Amino acid sequence: MTVITFLGAGSVVFTRELLADLLSFDELRGVTLALHDIDPERLETAEAIAHRTAEQLGAHPTILATLDRRRALQNADYVINAIQVGMHAATVRDFEIPAKYGLRQTIGDTLGVGGIFRALRTFPVLKSIADDMRELCPNALLLNYTNPMAMNVAYLAAIAPDLNTVGLCHSVYWTVHDLCELVGVPLEEVDYTGAGVNHQAWLLNWEHHGESLYPKLDALLATDEQLRRRVRMDLYARLGYFPTETSEHSSEYVPWYLHDDAEIERLRIPVGDYLRISEDNLREYARTRADVLAGKPLDLHRDATEYAPQVIHSMETGTLRRIHGNVANHGLISNLPEGYAVEVPCVVDRLGVRPERVGALPPQCAAVNRPFVSVGELTVRAALDGDPRLVRQAAMVDPNTAATLPLDRIWELCDELTAAHGDLLPEALRAS
């Protein structure tokens, strides 16, 4: 029987959506679901959601909920990773401390000082997961959803190249979905390819019946002033290829926007937005827990199926699919660094997830990607070498941080964040 393990199952809204997608496939209605979280209450909630979802869909999975990660990983075929080390309290520190220094962030989970420190507190847990998987389920496919995606996948590729790992993110799909709605073309009739790095990939091809849809977008931008007041639209107008992550995310990956009050106003950038999102997530968790414990039915309506259920279904049934995944760059994108994580199209069937070679990105896109990659490479190397100076050097070369703060202040900020996160960070990196 197929065993699917959820790590961080207490991310209950995300778990609910994944379970609804998985159990909607006829071939997956009898799988074993092993749910793990370190928070007993959240694990209890996840287990109740799993039973309620199965009941509503008429599925009959075997459900195991355990605080013991090793038990959850025993004989797993697929491991879905959705952990958040430090939870809401760590997120608050990642925003409030930089804000004291005048450093603005919007989401803070992918790049910048927020992304760097989120990665550093996640890496030790990833190493423990990798060690357990080598022993308990060495042939399992690790499907990572945890951010910072590129740093986490690159770190896993460095410490556990023998594990089968792919990072999954919906940003390419939803970018194309929303653009198709904008230009009035059915998504199912469109062909597209995105490539780059996670949260900063580029829509290289976007075609309807063999014709590029970019001219339709250009025509809209020429006549709609409000549409032009978005970071992604501004980047597209200047670079010629559409970035595959939201304007909120995209604004903090480059040096041009967040340090400038006029640009924040012009492009309507929501500074500090992830604090609101994180608080909303806590409220949504509380509502979901109350509803499921009260016996209320869950809303299982889904506009689209997440990638992990699609991957599992394809590998179990041989159904051919094409997704966009995050894997180590071994000859996939020729003008980005070898070995770091890239986001590329992947074919999926019974043989697994097979990334497609893209070749060279447009030079201007690769040029914007390289500083993004440099921050991640230095962060991964800091953890591998146990070198706290590399943490500061990663922050020094981060585009938004470098555009905002002088070097001494960057160093002081990293010192304060290190002290604030304490033993969530690897011991070797806790020094100033």
pLDDT digits (tens, 9 = 90+) for 342-383: 999 999 999 999 999 999 999 999 999 999 999 999 999 999
Asked if residue 169 belongs to a known ligand binding site, the reply is: yes
Write down the pTM of the prediction: 0.96
Helix axes 214-223, 231-239, angle to 10 degrees: 120
- Euclidean distance between CA atoms 136 and 1, whole angstroms: 16
Higher pLDDT, 388 or 281: 388
pLDDT bracket for residue 2 (50, 70, 90) = very high
Residues present in the chain in total: 432
Q: What is the mean pLDDT of the chain?
A: 96
CB 72 within 8 A of CB 66: yes
- At residue 14 the predicted structure's pLDDT band, cuts being 50, 70 and 90, is confident
Q: Establish whether 249 is a catalytic residue.
A: no
- pLDDT the model gives residue 54: 95
pLDDT at 315: 98
Give the residue among 99, 140, 95, 90 at the shortest CA–CA distance from 119. 90
- Report the C-alpha gap between 306 and 211 in whole angstroms: 28
Residues paired with 206 in a beta bridge: 192
Instruction: Provide DSSP, 176-221.
Output: HHHHHHHHT--GGGEEEEEEEETTEEEEEEEEETTEESHHHHHHHH
3-state secondary structure of 175: helix
* Helix ranges (DSSP H) in 294-387: 307-317, 363-385
Q: How high is the pLDDT of residue 143?
A: 98
Q: What is the pLDDT of residues 105-163, one digit of tens each?
A: 999 999 999 999 999 999 999 999 999 999 999 999 999 999 999 999 999 999 999 99
How do residues 17-64 score in pLDDT, each as one tens digit? 999 999 999 999 999 999 999 999 999 999 999 999 999 999 999 999
Instruction: Consult the annotation and say whether 180 binds a ligand.
Output: no
pLDDT band for position 9 (50/70/90)?
very high
Find out whether 147 is annotated in a ligand binding site: yes
The helix-helix angle for 273-293 and 87-100 (nearest 10°) equals: 160
The 10 Å Cβ neighbour count of residue 263 is: 15
User: What is the share, in percent, of the chain residues with pLDDT greater than 70?
Assistant: 100
Catalytic residue among 51, 88, 170, 209: 170
269 DSSP 8-state letter:
-
